[in-house]
Amino acid sequence: MGNDEIHILKRALQREKSARKQAEKILEQKSGELYDITQKLKKANKKLKDQVGKKESELQGVFDNLVDAYVLMDISGNVLEMNDTAKQLFGYDIAQEKLNVVGLIYKDDYRYAMESFQELITKGSFSDYQARVYTKKIGVRTVHINASLIRDKNKKPIGAQGIVTDITEKIEQKQIFEEQKKQLSIIVENSSLGIVLAQFGKILQTNKAFQDLLGYTKEELQQKEVKDISVKDEYVSVADDLEKVYTGQIDNLSINKRYKKRDGTSFWAKTNISAVRDHNGNIKYQVALIEDITEHLESEKQRDLLVKKLERSNNDLNDYAHIVSHDLKSPLRSMNALITWLKEDYEDTLDDDAHKSLDMLLKKVDKMDHLINGILKYSSIDKQEHPNKNIALNDILTDIIDVIHIPNHISISIPQNLPIIKGDKFRLQQLFQNLISNAIKYNNKEKGTVKVSCKDQEDFWEFAISDNGQGIPKKYHDKIFQIFQTLDDKKESTGVGLSIVKKIIDLYNGYIWIESQEGIGTTFYFTLKK
């Protein structure tokens, strides 16, 4: 090999050496850099780890403190995580026992749950799922769930998480509220009163009764204002008062006004307007209750008319009593005078028959006078309304015994302890006097007895006036109380006495009845309230 060759080889070696050296130097430099980077990475990694840990614990805090229940599950429905709320809601602790959500689905909601799950798989989430679930401790609850799918880095679904809210109570409250609303609207719709909700004259709502009253539909009325369905003059006349309701000076206004119907006619209604305030106390609405008083007014009119008529006929009756007292009595007095004069002036020329006839005529006149007095007494019983006073019946009966004529063959027994009764002296006297004098008048026994007695019957007194007279046949027991009914055409029977008795007892809300045996005697019973 030549020097040149050796020289070339040496130079090449030299170059190779220096190149290696350079390469080694670069390598060394790079290693140092690598080391630095590694160190930096290590540091960064640690920092990152710390931060992740921090975030994780932060998340755990959020997770635990969620008001709503949070459930994390794998794709088969096995629960992996639940927060405290979820544990409380479902009543399970997955640290103690395994839990699969499928077992929690309420049987009737199963299909819906599966559909929702399908949606979760295909779309990645679902929201506003609402269904019932079984819980361990608090029975079936209605829950609201928002859920989303969790995928791995290959987009493969590996689990799902859901926020669960227990809305059972909310639903119950809503149901109660709805129920109450329904009940209220039943009341409003079925009310026989018309009801209108208005806002300062503008009609907002009406019920069926009001729509029927006016003949408009609900929608038509909502287009109207109160003045559209009112009679103009009347609306103007109450405008001031309405303004007071609108401004809150008064809370309530009651008026009688007319409403115009769809067919153009109108009707009278009592209208009660109340102000409705919001929770700040500001006036928001006016509620009006409308009552059709057409019939009421009509019957009031009828009643007034009737009262007037009654007044008139009552006055007529008074006049009638007056006419009876004078116009009928006067001629009787004249007749009595003229007959008496005939008898006096022609005493010698008249024969016995004529005298007899004139005497009979006088008797008839006398009877006529009795009748007229009877009618007068009967009609005046309830005329004068005297205030009820305490009347001692023993005093009344003593007076009666003094006044009426008692023949020697009649003995009357009256107990000493008759009660004191609230009533009118004149009426009570009439009552007892008529019964006692009847008992005397119609007594046909040689030794006649009349006995007054009284029994305390708690709420009322029961009186009895019994005699040993001729008795009254059963068929007349009702008839004798009718006016002008008399069983005796001799003497001065007018048929008024017992009808007066009956009228007085009716006035005092009492009863009267008879027990009688023909030929043996009669007892009149009657009651007077205490």
**Which range in 39-47, 352-360, 361-369, 428-436 contacts another protein by CB under 8 A?**
361-369
Can you tell me whether residue 515 is helix, strand or coil? strand
Number of neighbours of residue 230 by Cβ within 10 angstroms = 19
396: contact with another protein by CB under 8 A: no
Q: How far is the CB of 438 from another protein (least distance, A)?
A: 22
How many chain residues are in contact with another protein, going by CB under 8 A?
A: 19
Q: How far is the CB of 428 from another protein (least distance, A)?
A: 18
118: contact with another protein by CB under 8 A: no
Cα separation, 140 vs 104, in Å, equals: 9
**Which range in 13-21, 175-183, 276-284, 329-337 contacts another protein by CB under 8 A?**
329-337
511: contact with another protein by CB under 8 A: no
**Which range in 172-180, 187-195, 327-335, 469-477 contacts another protein by CB under 8 A?**
327-335
Which of 330, 509 has the CB closer to another protein?
330
314: contact with another protein by CB under 8 A: no
317: contact with another protein by CB under 8 A: no
405: contact with another protein by CB under 8 A: no
DSSP state of 283: E
363: contact with another protein by CB under 8 A: no
**Which range in 17-25, 336-344, 476-484, 485-493 contacts another protein by CB under 8 A?**
336-344
Q: How far is the CB of 385 from another protein (least distance, A)?
A: 12
Q: How far is the CB of 288 from another protein (least distance, A)?
A: 52
Which of 5, 348 has the CB closer to another protein?
348
Q: What angle do CA 218, 220, 224 make, to 5 degrees?
A: 110
445: contact with another protein by CB under 8 A: no
What track of x and - describes contact with another protein for positions 370 through 389 (by CB under 8 A)? --------------x-----
**Which range in 126-134, 213-221, 334-342, 349-357 contacts another protein by CB under 8 A?**
334-342
Q: Report the Cα 199 to chain-centroid distance in Å.
A: 27
424: contact with another protein by CB under 8 A: no
What track of x and - describes contact with another protein for positions 268 through 307 (by CB under 8 A)? ----------------------------------------
365: contact with another protein by CB under 8 A: yes
Considering only 340, 388, 398, 444, the residue that binds another protein (CB under 8 A) is 340
Residue 519: left if φ>0, alpha if ψ -120 to 50, beta else—which one? left
Tell me the angle at which helices 294-323 and 352-380 cross, rounded to the nearest 10 degrees.
150
Question: Beta 202-206 vs 252-260: how paired, if at all?
Answer: unpaired
Considering only 177, 341, 484, 511, the residue that binds another protein (CB under 8 A) is 341
Considering only 337, 403, 420, 487, the residue that binds another protein (CB under 8 A) is 337
Considering only 369, 421, 470, 499, the residue that binds another protein (CB under 8 A) is 369
320: contact with another protein by CB under 8 A: no
First to last CA, the chain: 171
Q: Please say whether the beta carbons of 463 and 394 come within 8 A.
A: no
Q: How far is the CB of 328 from another protein (least distance, A)?
A: 9
Q: Please say whether the beta carbons of 497 and 374 come within 8 A.
A: yes
- CA-nearest of 401, 451, 391 to 426 is 391
360: contact with another protein by CB under 8 A: no
125: contact with another protein by CB under 8 A: no
Q: Please say whether the beta carbons of 196 and 294 come within 8 A.
A: no
Cα dihedral value 480, 484, 489, 491, nearest 10: 100
Cα separation, 109 vs 183, in Å, equals: 30
Transcribe 101-154 into DSSP letters. Answer: GGGGB-GGGHHHHHHHHHHHHHHSEEEEEEEEEE-SSS-EEEEEEEEEEEE-TT
Considering only 14, 127, 183, 334, the residue that binds another protein (CB under 8 A) is 334
Query: Cα separations (Å) of 85 from 14, 80, 92, 108, 127?
Result: 80, 15, 11, 25, 19
166: contact with another protein by CB under 8 A: no
Cα separation, 298 vs 422, in Å, equals: 40
Task: Kindly tell me the burial class for residue 450, based on how many C-beta atoms sit within 10 Å of its own C-beta (0-12, 13-18, 19 or more).
Answer: buried
In the beta sheet, which residues pair with residue 129? 145
Can you tell me whether residue 221 is helix, strand or coil? helix
**Which range in 130-138, 224-232, 279-287, 335-343 contacts another protein by CB under 8 A?**
335-343
346: contact with another protein by CB under 8 A: no
Which of 78, 325 has the CB closer to another protein?
325
Cα separation, 184 vs 449, in Å, equals: 76
Interface residues with another protein (CB under 8 A) are: 321-322, 325-327, 329-330, 332-334, 336-338, 340-341, 365-366, 369, 384
